[in-house]
RNA sequence: GCGCCCGUAGCUCAGGUGGAUAGAGCGUCAGCCUUCUAAGCUGAGGGUCGCAGGUUCGAAUCCUGCCGGGCGCACCA
């Protein structure tokens, strides 16, 4: 409905000589201001050289709407025009929800656009911690929202399996292997002290045989390199899988080196005249593209910085045909954004090609106290610990319920609480309750007739709930466009609140036939919206709790 | 010192491409319900939207400057 009304209003704007006027058509917070409201009259007041309320009257005069859509209009406040939807319009919306079912809230505006969402991308040097969980939940939800709005999406993980930190990892594992074989072991400077490598070392000896520890150091370390990366990746994948996150592509940094992409990228940049040598190093002139200093590509010792393979990796994404790439990075990497953006500009890629979502830090709270995480001491809450304590649904939901760019207080007590104070529980319970109605009635919800008489519904709660359901497609569209899944959690909480209120106030079964039929349809539609919302966020929609 | 993010009710946070009386949950207080489709309902109180200027008919929202918190500022990865 809002689309039709918006179009009609835009047409009036044209008729009044203000083509392309930017006006707002929104659902007012205050129910007394109707179902939809527009500020068009105030926007046009200047061109019309008339007070907004007088302009509003002209607009209503000129407004041409199909019969039976709007029940009432009103000019209010400084010049708002408020609209009340006709019952027929709501009934048709209800039929639309049920007809669309699991596709309700989906859009097609992204069709033909290929997106690459890269997230988590943690080094394969240790277990995932809660911050990676937030990045994982966010990246996955953004990817789902994009799919839901018609985009083709690849979920991608960038594996840093080359470079110095992997050397340290291999040496550290080799040291643990020696230790397991009963020899003194020295973890190298800058190596990894975490106990998980002990477990890996034991596994290596078991799989490769005790003689593995007697290999010459060089060969032992070389083989440890492959083994360590593989074992760490497997563990990370296990954690991510239990969290409901899967990737379409694991992109390897080593593979970028192996196929010669580094010199190719270097040549590409040099050909554009954007590199220069200074102090024995090779630089990229990123300051020409918005960075605050130029950046080194190849150090004076001949090795490359991380920046160059990162550029090569993004060139690769571009060459694979993606229209847009979104990188989900932790706040500790935000300083890296300007130089990568500069590199994308230097290569002449469209401005919209490269986008970054920065996810801020997570503080885990228990009993009102922060649970300290310290990598140094090796005592930190891993993502695995967290999921085991809260379950995957609560963990995902809590990671998504706040804007990514504000810091998150993860309240463990709340996340594990089986009460309506826990928002995940509250939303899932609303879904379970809707299903419970059908269970008690012995009716398959998918068989419930959508063609009902809405005017049979006696309570204001009935209409209020239905109106909320009709807002869902706007929420999914906005959440996808803004890459803000928290808009969806917020909506689901609002909807759950209305659902619980309705459930309590409005009986379904045993009411007069027309009322029961209408409310069954409403319950079915509510269940659809709750289920779709939960599904987009990667959460289960339980039938009973 | 520079850059990015944040600062809204006691707490956790929405609202941020300017619009109507700034919202929600929790907590607090006062009542109600104890029926069923368990985990409920109603109401109240609570705010200099960090501070100060500016733009505007209109600012939590945009601009500038400060204050406070977080994270970054390598020929590290």
User: A141 and A212 share a domain?
Assistant: yes
pLDDT of A510 > 80? The answer is yes
> Protein A543 CA to nucleic acid B37 C1', in Å?
13
* A398 CA to B27 C1' distance (Å): 20
Q: How far apart are CA A405 and CA A359, in angstroms?
A: 6
Closest by Cα among A465, A436, A455 to A514: A455
Q: Which residue is nearest to nucleotide B73 (CA to C1')?
A: A335
pLDDT, mean of residues A56-74? 86
Whether the Cβ atoms of residue A158 and residue A179 lie closer than 8 Å to each other: no
The structural domain count of chain A equals 3
CA of A4 to C1' of B35 (A): 44
**Pick from A66, A85, A104: which residue ends a domain?**
A85
Residue A502 lies in a domain: yes
Same domain, A375 and A239: yes
pLDDT in tens, A69-80: 888 898 888 888
- At A374 the pLDDT is 54
- If residue A301 lies in a helix (H) or strand (E), which one and from where to where? none
pLDDT tens profile A415-472: 988 888 889 999 999 999 999 999 888 889 988 888 888 888 888 888 889 989 999 9
A139/A241 same-domain check: yes
Helices H / strands E in chain A, number of each:
20, 15
Give yes or no for a contact between A55 and A79, defined as CB atoms under 8 angstroms apart: yes
Which nucleotides of strand B lie under 7 Å from a protein CB? 2-7, 12-15, 19-27, 37-42, 57, 69-77
User: Is residue A313, in this structure, part of any structural domain at all?
Assistant: no
Does residue A53 sit in the same domain as residue A182? Answer: no
pLDDT at position A45: 78
Q: How far is the CA of A88 from the C1' of B76 (A)?
A: 65
Please report which residue ranges of A149-195 form alpha helices under DSSP H. 164-180
Which of A134-138, A176-180, A258-262, A361-365 bottoms out in mean pLDDT, i.e. has the lowest? A361-365
Return the DSSP state at A283: E
In angstroms, what CA-CA distances link A22 with A5, A6, A255, A528?
A: 14, 11, 49, 34
* Same domain assignment for residues A164 and A36: no
Q: For A272-297, what is each residue's pLDDT tens digit?
A: 999 999 999 999 999 999 898 999 99
Tens digits of residue pLDDT in A312-322: 999 999 999 99
Q: Which two tokens stand for residue A506?
A: 């409005």
> Taking the C1' atom of B58, which residue's CA lies nearest?
A78
| Sign for the pseudo-dihedral over CA of A200, A202, A206, A209 | positive
**Of A39, A59, A85, which closes a domain?**
A85
A366 CA to B52 C1', in Å?
A: 39
pLDDT band per the 50, 70, 90 thresholds, residue A377? very low
A47-51, A339-343, A469-473: lowest mean pLDDT where? A47-51
Residue A113 forms part of a structural domain: no
Give A198-244 pLDDT, tens digit per residue. Answer: 999 999 999 999 999 999 999 999 999 999 999 999 999 999 999 89
Other residues' Cβ atoms within 10 Å of the Cβ of residue A376:
7
In a domain, A351, yes or no: no
A11 and A147 co-located in one domain:
no
Interface pTM (ipTM) of the complex? 0.91
In a shared domain, residues A367 and A235? yes
Decide: A163 and A253 in contact? Cβ < 8 Å: yes
DSSP code, position A441? H
Query: Is A491 found in the same domain as A408?
Result: no
A439: containing domain: 423-536
A210 and A134 housed in the same domain = yes
pLDDT in tens, A513-539: 899 999 999 999 999 999 999 999 999
Would you report the helix, strand and coil content of chain A in percent, each value rounded to 5?
55, 15, 30
Q: What is the pLDDT of residue A376?
A: 45
Which nucleotide is at minimal CA–C1' distance from A478?
Answer: B17
Residue A439: give its domain's CATH number: 1.10.730.10
Beta bridge partners of A283: A276, A296
Dihedral sign, Cα of residue A436, residue A441, residue A444, residue A448: negative
Residue A379 has pLDDT above 70, yes or no: no
Find which nucleotide's C1' atom is closest to A426's CA.
B39
DSSP 3-state of A260: coil
- Residue with CA nearest B33 C1'? A504
């Amino acid at each position: 409905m809002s689309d039709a009304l918006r179009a009609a209003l835009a047409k009036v704007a044209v008729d009044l000589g203000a083509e392309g006027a930017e006006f707002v058509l929104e659902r007012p917070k205050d129910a007394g201001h109707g179902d939809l409201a527009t500020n068009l009259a105030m926007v046009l007041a200047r061109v019309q050289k008339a007070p907004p309320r007088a302009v509003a009257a002209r607009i209503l005069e000129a407004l041409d709407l199909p019969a039976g859509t709007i029940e009432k209009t009103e000019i209010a406040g400084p010049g708002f025009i408020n609209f009340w939807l006709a019952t027929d319009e709501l009934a048709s919306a209800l039929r639309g929800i049920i007809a669309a079912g699991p596709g309700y809230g989906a859009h097609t505006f992204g069709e033909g656009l290929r997106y690459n969402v890269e997230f988590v991308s943690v080094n394969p040097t240790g277990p995932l911690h809660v911050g990676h969980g937030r990045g994982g939940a966010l990246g996955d939800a953004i990817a789902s929202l994009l799919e839901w709005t018609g985009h083709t999406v690849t979920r991608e993980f960038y594996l840093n399996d080359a470079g110095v930190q992997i050397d340290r990892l291999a040496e550290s594992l080799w040291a643990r292997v020696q230790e397991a074989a009963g020899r003194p072991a020295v973890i190298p400077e800058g190596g990894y002290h975490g106990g998980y490598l002990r477990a890996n070392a034991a596994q290596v000896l078991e799989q490769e045989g005790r003689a593995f520890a007697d290999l010459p150091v060089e060969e032992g370390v070389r083989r440890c390199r492959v083994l360590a990366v593989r074992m760490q990746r497997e563990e990370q994948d296990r954690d991510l899988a239990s969290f409901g996150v899967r990737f379409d592509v694991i992109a390897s940094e080593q593979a970028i080196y192996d196929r010669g992409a580094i010199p190719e990228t270097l040549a590409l940049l040099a050909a554009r005249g954007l590199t220069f040598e200074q102090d024995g190093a090779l630089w990229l002139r990123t300051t020409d593209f918005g960075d605050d200093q130029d950046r080194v590509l190849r150090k004076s010792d001949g090795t490359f910085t991380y920046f160059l393979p990162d550029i090569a990796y993004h060139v690769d994404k571009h060459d694979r045909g993606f229209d847009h790439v979104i990188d989900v990075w932790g706040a500790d990497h935000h300083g890296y954004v300007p130089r990568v953006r500069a590199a994308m500009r230097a290569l002449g890629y469209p401005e919209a090609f490269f986008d970054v979502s920065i996810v801020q830090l997570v503080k885990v709270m228990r009993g009102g106290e922060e649970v300290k995480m310290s990598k140094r001491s090796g005592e930190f809450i891993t993502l695995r610990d967290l999921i085991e304590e809260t379950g995957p649904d609560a963990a995902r939901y809590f990671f998504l319920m706040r804007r990514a760019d504000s810091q998150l207080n993860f309240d463990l007590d709340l996340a594990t609480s089986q009460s309506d104070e826990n928002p995940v529980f509250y939303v899932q319970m609303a879904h379970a309750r809707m299903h419970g109605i059908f269970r008690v009635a012995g009716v398959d919800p998918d068989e419930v007739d959508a063609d009902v008489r809405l005017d049979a519904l006696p309570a204001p709660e009935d209409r209020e709930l239905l109106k909320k359901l009709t807002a869902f497609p706007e929420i999914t569209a906005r959440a996808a466009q803004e890459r803000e899944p928290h808009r969806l959690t917020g909506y689901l909480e609002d909807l759950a609140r209305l659902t619980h209120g309705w459930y309590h106030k409005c009986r379904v079964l045993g009411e007069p036939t027309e009322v029961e039929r209408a409310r069954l349809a409403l319950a079915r539609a509510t269940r659809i919206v709750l289920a779709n919302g939960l599904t987009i966020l990667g959460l289960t929609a339980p039938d009973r709790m």
